[in-house]
Amino acid sequence: MSKTVTVDIVADIVCPWCWLGKRNWDAAVKLTPGIKTQVTWRPFQLDASIAPEGKPYREYMKAKFSGENASRWQQMRDHLEAAAPEAGIHFDFDNIPIRPNTLNAHRLLRWATGQDRVEPMIEALFEAFFANGRDIGDPAVLAELAGSVGLEEQLTADLLAGDADRKQIVEEEQFYRDLGVSGVPCYIFNGQFAVSGAQPAEELAKAIREAAANPASG
């Protein structure tokens, strides 16, 4: 039908909509079996100002969603928790202790991409944070999760202790901000058009078909 559809998915691990959006994306791919998709996960930090040790989650969320925004966060939680079972995921917001800085998690995803392990890696990170209440800003936790999906745990720990790919992650994130990405998840098809938000699988499948019918030139 067409050339391969390339898709850049801009996301952050601490964004619950991104986990839901990831599962919706998986479902969309199943709805378009005749079209090959090539996905690259791209980094986006919802709050890069958080210190490496993170902040207490409840304190952070209370400050972010104070006043009139408090009811908005409750509405978002209700929607996410209602949508989660159908997507096969579980959000345990009350069990999350730390709102982490996610730069190291994005470095880990970059390395997992190079080892063709990004799919299990991103799922392991989402589950660790949202379902199991683990601190994914902790290098020891990240190294353990890396080992659980087939990456070399000690090598990962050594890399996290240094600055490998730190600059590249920051620059890549800025590239997508400069393109106009301000919220995640954001799906960019063939470098031509974008779909924002955790859209239903049917909407993402529609975008896949549109991209397949209009392949990127060159």
For β-strands 193-196 and 37-43, DSSP reports them as unpaired
Same domain, 139 and 188: no
pLDDT attached to residue 217: 61
- State the sign of the Cα–Cα–Cα–Cα dihedral 104, 106, 107, 108: positive
How far is residue 215 CA from its own chain's centroid?
25
Same domain, 86 and 151: yes
Count of helices and strands (H, E) across the chain:
9, 6
**Runs of H (alpha helix) within the chain:** 16-31, 57-64, 69-87, 103-114, 118-126, 139-148, 153-161, 166-179, 201-213
Same domain, 109 and 154: yes
pLDDT attached to residue 151: 98
Name the CA dihedral angle for 161, 165, 171, 176, rounded to a multiple of 10 degrees. -100
Same domain, 29 and 115: no
* CATH classification of the domain holding 94: 3.40.30.10
pLDDT attached to residue 47: 97
Answer yes or no: is 177 within a domain.
no
Same domain, 75 and 18: no
Same domain, 159 and 94: yes
Answer yes or no: is 143 within a domain.
yes
Same domain, 129 and 57: yes
- Within 8 A by CB and 6+ apart from 95, the residues are 132, 133
Query: In which domain, by residue range, is 107 found?
Result: 47-172
Q: Which two tokens stand for residue 197?
A: 């938000």
DSSP state letter for 93: G
Q: Is the separation of the CB atoms in 159 and 107 below 8 Å?
A: yes
DSSP state letter for 116: T
Place of tokens 């890399």: 159
Same domain, 74 and 114: yes
CA-closest candidate to residue 19, choices 184, 148, 205, 170: 184
For residue 170, the SS3 value is helix
At residue 20's C-alpha, the angle toward residues 19 and 21, to 5°, is 90
Tell me the mean pLDDT per 10 residues along the chain, length 218.
85 98 98 96 97 96 84 90 96 97 98 98 98 98 98 98 98 97 97 96 98 80
Same domain, 71 and 147: yes
CA distance linking residue 15 with residue 82, whole number of Å: 16
Same domain, 109 and 78: yes
Same domain, 9 and 96: no
pLDDT attached to residue 188: 98
Number of independent structural domains in the chain: 2
Residues paired with 186 in a beta bridge: 10, 196
Same domain, 215 and 126: no
Answer yes or no: is 210 within a domain.
yes
